[in-house]
Amino acid sequence: MKTETNRTVLLAVIALSLALFACADSGKDNAAATRASAPVTEVRSDAPGAGQPAGPPPGSVTGPGQAEQANQASGNARLTEDEKNTIEVVRKTRNSVVYITNLQYVRDFFYSSDQPVPRGSGSGFVWDDQGHIVTNFHVIDEGAKFMVSLPNQKQVEATLVGLDRAKDIAVLKLGQQVVDLGPVTIGTSRDLQVGQKVIAIGNPFGFDHTVTKGIVSALGRSMLGAGDLTIRDMIQTDASINPGNSGGPLLNSSGELIGMSTMIASPSGASSGVGFAIPVDTIRKIVPQIIQFGKVIRPDIGGVTFVRDEVAQRAGIEGAVILEVVRSSKAYDLGLRGLYRDNYGRLLIRDVVTGIDVMKVKSHDDLFTALDGYKIGDTVTLTIVREDKTRKVTIQLVETD
């Protein structure tokens, strides 16, 4: 009797346990179904606004444009202020920088005809809405034809308007109107400071629209230019400048033109090194003259040519050695004379310019630079040395021959 009672109790316990398991499974199914039908909300304790839904509120609609703006805003949030500024400058000038190819005609041996062959390349920037492009003289030197690659990869032929060898500046003009180009914003180099940020844009090694960033490393540098005359007051920068950058703009953090990338000083002829740019204040004086007259009109003594400085230096002469004086010139009337040969056929020096007004002149380069500070019609006093005797000559400056 007792055994049957125990068996009955055991069966009752087993039945109760099975019932409890069934209820538990049913509760899990209901919970899973509830989760499957409800919107998924992810909460991260490390994200801004933790505890808030990650997605848009129910019923909101997000279009493709809104999603793109949201992604851009998210990307901008991760940028530093300096990075944002650089990006803005690049965007501002995206339609202002071009790529220039210098072509020469070479005789084809097989077809006995002249074929255009690339001689070199460089960069340039849009000066105005008339299609004028500013670049370096050495970029277009000895070129017969010039092709300008625009930011949209379209190529347009350009003609040479004029150049200034002494300052290594040239101006081209596009052969057709291009509506989507934008002139650079012209700044000033007068108030530049060492250490301020600069951005160089150009086409180094043919990689178009390449951007590099650096600082103004030094000011007032003097470098020998492509015209064998010293370009003064150049901007030195550590922004990477390589072959192909020549003629490209150097910009400040406001996107204003402060210089034109021109040359590299590097050991052993390396392709990269310390970069130098022609200051924009120099460019502003020269480019409008080239556009208007096809050349630069400078004040000059008139009718006087000079011995190259390296020749004078080898002879141990300090000053601007006069090579020749045109007989019909005012300088000739005032007694200035150039080289002459003695009875033995030796070439001898007569007049050497050693000063202009209160400035000393140690070379023709010095004299050329000094004349840049005068205007046509100004009267100057030259210090002339002949056979160790010094005299003063007063002369009125005339337009460059």
Q: Of 293, 324, 344, which residue sits at a domain end? A: 293
Q: Is residue 163 domain-shared with residue 190, that is, in the same domain?
A: no
pLDDT of 48 higher than 70: no
Q: Is residue 157 domain-shared with residue 215, that is, in the same domain?
A: no
Q: Is 125 exposed, middle or buried (0-12, 13-18, 19+ CB in 10 A)?
A: buried
Q: Is residue 339 domain-shared with residue 388, that is, in the same domain?
A: yes
Cβ(277)–Cβ(262) under 8 Å? yes
SS3 3: helix
Q: Is residue 327 domain-shared with residue 285, that is, in the same domain?
A: no
pLDDT, mean over the chain:
83
Angle at 139 between CA 133 and CA 140, to 5 degrees: 75
Neighbour count for residue 323 (Cβ, 10 Å)? 16
| Local structure of residue 362 (DSSP, 8 states) | S
The band of 206, judged by pLDDT with boundaries at 50, 70 and 90, is confident
The band of 241, judged by pLDDT with boundaries at 50, 70 and 90, is confident
Q: Residue 315: inside a domain, yes or no?
A: yes
The 3-class SS string of 114-181 reads EEEEEEEEEEEEECCCCCEEEECHHHHCCCCEEEEECCCCCEEEEEEEEEEHHHCEEEEEECCCCCCC
Q: Is residue 305 domain-shared with residue 361, that is, in the same domain?
A: yes
Q: Is residue 161 domain-shared with residue 201, that is, in the same domain?
A: no
Cβ(218)–Cβ(238) under 8 Å? no
pTM of the model: 0.71
Q: What is the CATH number of the domain that holds 344?
A: 2.30.42.10
Predicted local distance difference test score (pLDDT) of residue 61: 47
Catalytic amino acids? 138, 168, 246
Question: Which residue reads 């310019």 in tokens?
Answer: 353
250 to 89, 150, 237: CA distances (angstroms): 11, 18, 9
**Using CA atoms, how far apart are residues 324 and 351, in angstroms rounded to an integer?**
10
Cβ(214)–Cβ(284) under 8 Å? no
Q: Residue 165: inside a domain, yes or no?
A: yes
247 to 200, 225, 377: CA distances (angstroms): 10, 13, 33
SS3 301: coil
Q: For residue 176, what are its two tokens?
A: 């057709």
Count: domains in the chain: 3
Q: Is residue 316 domain-shared with residue 287, that is, in the same domain?
A: no
Q: Residue 26: inside a domain, yes or no?
A: no
Q: Residue 346: inside a domain, yes or no?
A: yes
Give, for 290, the enclosing helix (H) or strand (E): helix 280-293
The band of 17, judged by pLDDT with boundaries at 50, 70 and 90, is low
Q: Of 293, 322, 354, which residue sits at a domain end? A: 293
Q: Is residue 328 domain-shared with residue 385, that is, in the same domain?
A: yes
Predicted local distance difference test score (pLDDT) of residue 63: 53
Range of the domain at 346: 299-399
Which of 77-81, 135-139, 328-332 has the weakest average pLDDT? 77-81
Neighbour count for residue 46 (Cβ, 10 Å)? 5
Predicted local distance difference test score (pLDDT) of residue 278: 96
